[in-house]
């Protein structure tokens, strides 16, 4: 079985990778870029783990970041470990939401729980799990705390496909439905996710789909909606609107799951 580590830069991916895998790891480069590709055997002999470049969103800004998006779309893995920094959840969960929307089997490693605690931020993993529809395991990747449990959970019973659905507002929901109807029926990837990523301007998704379809009508529909959204809500772009709607959702989840001790 193959598992992959997705997360923002500096959230502890490599620390966790080193704990979960045997000392020997294959190191090479991803094709076309200089980013290091690390593959290790899980220490429980249940499969391999891939350490991916850190990203803030599935919509890549660079060719290096595109490695993670391409890996996700190629779908050669059995499950995803999404590592998030418990002290920076509002920012980290922009990526989480997009991974959950993709719908692959996923588990969340809630890392830096020591840092969060020292800042007075207490995250309830059960409540977070309830809201997101996937298992959440609190860890401290620097010391290894909780990592055994995470490793034990890397199986079919504990990796879940989330069914969360962010409401992007009536204009975008209509646009998503229109785009879904225009997508090739034989794509194996979740069509709502594809539509949302196209609206967000994801060039990896677009390039991949452009081999099988024409974009003239989709481009027109997106441009038209963007003008409406900008006029109506005063945002700079349709991407900014998607970001804002995700943030509203994340904030509502955090209001339910996180206690902050202000005196810390
Ligand atoms: P990556 O960029 O996601 O691969 O993150 P790294 O594994 O390189 O970790 C970034 C930094 O955070 C390093 O200095 C780690 O030692 C530190 N770090 C990782 N996990 C934890 C943790 O749970 N708690 C604390 N305090 N530091 C951590
Ligand atoms: K790093
Ligand atoms: Mg790293």
Question: What is the rounded average pLDDT of the residues 37-52?
Answer: 92
pTM: 0.96
Mutate which of 115, 141, 146, 150 for ligand 1? The one with the most ligand atoms within 8 Å of its CB, which is 141
* pLDDT the model gives residue 94: 98
214's tokens: 């024409």
ipTM above 0.85, yes or no: yes
Mutate which of 12, 27, 110 for ligand 1? The one with the most ligand atoms within 8 Å of its CB, which is 12
Question: Chain-wide mean pLDDT for the chain?
Answer: 94
Q: State the pLDDT confidence band at 204, using cuts at 50, 70 and 90.
A: very high
Q: State the pLDDT confidence band at 29, using cuts at 50, 70 and 90.
A: confident
Pocket of ligand 1 (CB under 6 A): 7, 9-15, 54, 111-112, 114-115, 140-142
Write out pLDDT tens, residues 146-184: 999 999 999 888 999 999 999 999 999 999 999 999 998
């Amino acid at each position: 079985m193959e598992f992959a580590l997705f997360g923002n830069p500096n959230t502890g991916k490599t620390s966790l990778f080193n704990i979960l895998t045997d000392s020997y790891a294959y190191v090479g480069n991803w094709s076309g870029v200089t980013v290091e590709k690390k593959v290790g055997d899980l220490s429980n002999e249940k499969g391999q783990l891939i350490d991916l470049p850190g990203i803030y969103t599935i919509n890549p800004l660079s060719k290096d970041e595109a490695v993670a998006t391409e890996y996700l779309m190629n779908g050669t893995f059995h499950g995803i470990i999404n590592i998030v920094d418990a002290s920076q959840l509002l920012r980290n969960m922009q990526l989480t939401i997009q991974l959950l929307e993709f719908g692959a089997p996923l588990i969340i490693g809630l890392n830096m729980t020591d840092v969060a605690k020292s800042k007075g931020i207490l995250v309830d993993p059960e409540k977070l799990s309830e809201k997101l529809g996937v298992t959440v395991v609190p860890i401290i990747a620097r010391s290894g705390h909780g990592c055994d449990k995470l490793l034990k959970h890397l199986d079919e019973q504990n990796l879940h496909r989330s069914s969360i659905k962010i409401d992007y507002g009536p204009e975008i929901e209509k646009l998503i439905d229109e785009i879904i109807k225009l997508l090739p029926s034989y794509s194996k990837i979740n069509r709502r996710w594809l539509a949302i990523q196209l609206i967000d301007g994801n060039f990896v998704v677009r390039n991949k789909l452009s081999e099988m379809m024409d974009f003239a009508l989709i481009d027109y529909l997106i441009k038209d909606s963007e003008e409406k959204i900008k006029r109506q809500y005063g945002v700079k772009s349709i991407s900014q609107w998607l970001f804002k709607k995700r943030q509203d959702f994340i904030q509502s989840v955090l209001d339910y799951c996180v206690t902050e001790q202000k005196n810390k």
